A and B are shown apart, each in its own frame.
Chain A
């Protein structure tokens, strides 16, 4: 542990430790992106130092300006997770943005071109970032790579690190299509919709447009 973090500031170390249990990737994977310091700087800049300390820093002194609601704390946790997965800082819920009294515009931006290529989402399904890390001619014909199951992922990030958030206790993916629709994105209403503003499939009125659906 000491050799891995000798040249990394303690703040970045604790930021990465915080991120392990939120992302489901090991600290090795997170450091391997090369983005740890850049993401830490981004989050600090987006939240401001005092709110960062209150929400993530884990300092025992608590928030310097009163309580921040649990909903906003959760939204910030989601935003940091999104940052690791996509390389972009997202648009957060307007209520959270307002409660944090942020000066920056509430829009999504890619932190750097390299951050895009280091997004974890591509690894999560066994792929590569579109436009980078090409796997080679003809590899798109191969069967998709086998993905680790939930136990393997959970075991992978445990060990010395317990994580500051509990792992899932219930099966992650629901069976019914309606419940699944609450976890899937719905259609874009314009050519591009910022990802965190996409409606969920459940909110897009998944009434089939073909009235004959299900009768064949």
Chain B
């Protein structure tokens, strides 16, 4: 493992002027920084949150924080930060038939935006699952094909080489043939760097249904079930055939050599992999060249543009103690500025700075994968709470003409029992004991289960837990948006984001179909369905809605996207196909916020591919800016930093 370019503080960054400033040391920011640093450019990465996880003791501290947390939610390995606050799923609680939102995100939508993110070194990718499916080729043009959502200005084939680059950088384990069957296109002899993560025992139980037909009553169509493995950014057995026989050496933990080089089944990917077998941005940061500096505890508060619409200055606040927002203002300049702070934070920064919004789309089109969770008791033990959270799924509902009648969905076979749905296994202990009292507060009467009976019953009931997660596509909808709430500011005086969120009829129709499919699957598995979403005593569960007289609950998947959407024209989109802002030639907004649609795949791999593609373009921009002046005046002058002739105008992408 090469030694990391150590994170530093803002005071120790050597200069105030850089080639590139990147806002955010998450997945997209780290990939762009590494690529530009590799080309020799001077890059400053400003991270709002804390560092420390890049050392082994610091990382273990996060693991211990997770072990000691009662609520093992995605952010439970990371401490809150008053200076750079971020939302947590615990901020939301049901209120009557609706919800109330505490914490960082203000909300005024009909339904709660129940997704979190993390402002810390590595960003939300620290707690990601590590699922790396590509988007389907048909996902890029839902508008022209089925009349919903937004089309991408680029297509799958344009992105394909960058998907491969991302799969190399992250280190993806998977089976290409299984993905080919779904419609993904790869070069003839392509393999992933590592062999597929072994399917779970539950996957094999589900595979017994392969070939069985299930009716989707909304699409009015039958589908044949087939279990497909999930490509993952998680260390597995290296594939010796990778890159024509070159092979692949897995990269392990940062700060501890020769460790974490293969998943050992900790089964806690979200929120943290104790051995770092799951890829995180720390690994990419450890390979930064010497020209890249990362400064933590620097909250970018504003971008300032000049009369030529070029972003001149990045203003940020430096703090020492995350328990208080006491900070000091500093600023820096760069030729290129890259926003990589997460979809919502990127939009917030653009809105605060009054930039990039000729189209009126900044902050709009906020998307997530609303997820239906169902759970059942199997007829036999299935070995839950083992391995990665999900290793296989049913993919057949993601694609095809059925998308014109209902939102498509991807079915994740959950390997972690009823954890997400009912708080298992701890709630199993409480339920069997009768602990905690009846609804009226009195202690429950003795049910006779204790000691050996308790141990036996826990073994019996937990070992049979099956959970399925249905990630439904949410198309871009201008009404779902992030705006500023100037009446509510964070500790540094920056207005907090205000989220307005809802699920359209199209999405709700996907839930209707998903539940019917779930019922059919459990029936075929001879499993006793325990799913229920009805209100109790006038209080509806969080994320509750009724569609066609049926009750549903949706969960957020953590896939914030769409808030600085990519398009073909500056009137209707915020960034072009390279993620460069139409309105500001030296400002890029990278991340899932650029994505016009997210299909039914976890968006991180696509975000990574887009980031690597943008890095190529940024390098091209920087080369143009540094071209020497010629006597005949055909090139711009370095000293004046005028817009080089060759860099205008934005090239339109051909799908």
The total of interchain contacts (Cβ-Cβ below 8 angstroms) comes to 349
Residues 191-206 of A at the B interface (beta carbon under 8 Å): 191-201, 203-206
Tell me if B274 and A210 are in contact (CB < 8 A).
Answer: no
Give A25 to B450 CA distance when docked, in angstroms. Answer: 11
Assuming the contacts A91-B436, A131-B268, A168-B448, asked whether A125 and B63 have C-beta atoms less than 8 A apart, the reply is no
- Cα–Cα distance between A141 and B227 once the two chains are bound (Å): 15
Per the bound structure, the CA–CA distance linking A116 and B69 in Å amounts to 9
- Whether B64 pairs with A212 at a CB distance below 8 angstroms is no
Known: A24-B456, A172-B457. A95 touches B437 (CB 8 A): yes
| Contact among B92, B423, B438, B549 with A198 in the assembled complex (CB-CB below 8 Å) | B423
CB nearest to A194 among chain B residues:
B70
B399 within 8 A of A: no
Q: Are A85 and B542 in contact (CB under 8 A)?
A: no
A75 and B275: CB pair below 8 A?
no
Residue A58 CB within 8 A of the other chain: no
Q: Does A8 contact B (CB under 8 A)?
A: no
Contacts of B534 in A (CB 8 A): 204-205, 207, 209
Task: Tell whether, in the assembled complex, residue A184 and residue B431 are in contact, meaning their CB atoms are under 8 Å apart.
Answer: yes
How extensive is the interface on chain A, given as a class? 35 or more
CB-defined contacts of B236 to chain A, threshold 8 Å: 137
In the complex, A114 Cα to B63 Cα: how many Å?
11
A209 touches B551 (CB 8 A): yes
With contact pairs A93-B442, A209-B550 given, residues A131 and B430 touching in the complex (Cβ less than 8 Å)? no
Query: Which residues of chain B from 411 to 467 have any CB-CB distance to chain A below 8 Å in the complex?
Result: 415-416, 418-419, 421-439, 441-463
For the complex, would chain A's binding face be called helix, strand, loop or mixed by DSSP majority?
Answer: loop
Known: A71-B442, A130-B416, A150-B456. A183 touches B265 (CB 8 A): no
Contact of A187 with B by CB under 8 A: yes
- CB distance B462 to A192 under 8 Å? no
Known contacts: A113-B64, A124-B458. The answer to whether A93 contacts B94 by CB under 8 A is no
A19–B90 Cα gap in the complex (Å)? 34
A157 within 8 A of partner (CB):
yes
Query: Which chain B residues in 175-228 approach chain A with CB under 8 Å?
Result: 198-201, 204
- Find out whether the CB atom of B426 lies under 8 angstroms from the CB atom of A167: no
How distant is the Cα of A117 from the Cα of B69 in the complex, in angstroms?
12
Interface centre among B90, B94, B415, B463 (most CB of A within 10 A): B463
**Is B304 positioned at the interface, with any CB of A under 8 Å from its CB?**
no
**Would A130 and B266 be within 8 Å (CB), given that A75-B443, A121-B429, A170-B448 are in contact?**
yes
A195 to B430, CA, bound (A): 6
When the two chains form their complex, are residues B442 and A192 in contact, meaning their CB atoms are under 8 A apart?
no
In the complex, what residues of B have CB within 8 A of residue A91's CB?
A: 436
Min CB gap A172→B, angstroms: 4
A212–B529 Cα distance when bound, in Å, is 13
A62 within 8 A of B: no
Cβ-neighbour of A177 out of B274, B429, B528 (below 8 A): B528
Q: How distant is B107 from chain A, measured CB to nearest CB, in Å?
A: 14
Asked if B476 is at the interface (CB within 8 A of a chain A CB), the reply is: no
A154 x B452 contact (CB < 8 A): yes
Which A residue's beta carbon lies closest to that of B528?
A: A177
Task: Judge whether A144 and B519 touch: CB under 8 Å.
Answer: no
B504-538 residues at the A interface, CB under 8 angstroms: 515-516, 519-520, 523, 528-534, 536
Chain A hits for B268, CB < 8 A: 130-132
Q: How far is the CA of A139 from the CA of B387 in the complex (A)?
A: 8
Residues from chain B with a CB closer than 8 A to the CB of A141 are 198-201, 204, 387
Interface residues of A in 63-82 (CB under 8 A from B): 71-72, 74-75, 77-79, 81-82
Given contacts A142-B383, A216-B520, contact A185 B428 (CB under 8 A): yes
Closest chain-B Cβ to A94's Cβ sits at a distance in Å of 4
Q: Is B263 an interface residue (CB 8 A)?
A: yes
With a cutoff of 8 Å between Cβ atoms, the chain B residues found around residue A180 in the complex are 377
Binary interface encoding of chain A residues 119-144 relative to chain B, with 1 for a CB under 8 A from any of its CBs, else 0: 01110111110111011111111111
Are B265 and A144 closer than 8 Å at their CB atoms?
no
A205 contact set on B, CB distance < 8 A: 532, 534, 536
A residues near B267, Cβ cutoff 8 Å:
128, 130-131, 134, 140
Q: Which residues of B contact A150 (CB under 8 A)?
A: 452-453, 456
**Is A88 touching B436 in the complex (CB atoms < 8 A)?**
no
Q: Is the CB of A130 within 8 A of B435?
A: no
| Chain A residues near B263 (CB-CB < 8 A) | 137
Given that A130-B266, A184-B428 are contacting pairs, would A81 and B459 also be in contact in the complex, using a CB cutoff of 8 Å?
A: no
- The answer to whether A198 touches B551 (Cβ under 8 A) is no
Select from chain A the residue with minimum beta-carbon distance to B539: A189
In whole angstroms, what is the CA distance A81 to B432 when docked?
11
Closest partner residue, chain A, to B204 (CB atom): A141
Interface residue from A82, A116, A147, A212 paired with B459 (Cβ < 8 Å): A147
- Judge whether A6 is part of the interface by a CB distance below 8 angstroms: no
Q: Is the CB of B435 within 8 A of A122?
A: no
Residue A112, interface by CB 8 Å: yes
Give the distance in Å from the alpha carbon of A156 to the alpha carbon of B422 in the complex.
31
Q: Tell me which residues across on chain B come within 8 A of A113, comparing CB atoms.
A: 64-65, 67-68
Chain B residues whose C-beta falls within 8 Å of the C-beta of A130 in the assembled complex: 72, 266-268, 385, 416, 419
Residues of A close to B415: CB separation below 8 A: 140
The smallest beta-carbon distance between A200 and chain B, in angstroms, is: 6
B424 touches which one: A72, A81, A185 (CB < 8 A)? A185
B522 closest partner in A (C-beta): A213
Q: Given A72-B443, A168-B449, A209-B531: A92 and B385 within 8 A (CB)?
A: no
Interface membership of B331, Cβ < 8 A? no
Contacts of B434 in A (CB 8 A): 78
Q: Tell whether, in the assembled complex, residue B89 and residue A121 are in contact, meaning their CB atoms are under 8 Å apart.
A: no
Complex A-B: 26 CB contacts under 8 Å: A24-B455, A110-B68, A110-B70, A122-B385, A127-B386, A128-B267, A130-B266, A131-B267, A134-B267, A135-B264, A136-B264, A142-B383, A147-B456, A157-B451, A163-B451, A173-B457, A185-B418, A185-B428, A187-B421, A194-B436, A201-B431, A201-B530, A209-B531, A210-B516, A211-B549, A213-B529
Q: Which 10 A-B pairs have the closest CB atoms?
A: A93-B437, A140-B387, A196-B436, A131-B268, A144-B383, A24-B455, A113-B67, A185-B427, A168-B453, A192-B71
Add 17 more A-B contacts to A125-B463, A140-B415, A195-B427 (CB < 8 A): A75-B435, A77-B450, A85-B429, A86-B429, A110-B69, A112-B68, A113-B64, A124-B462, A130-B416, A138-B198, A157-B451, A187-B533, A189-B540, A196-B437, A198-B423, A201-B532, A206-B530
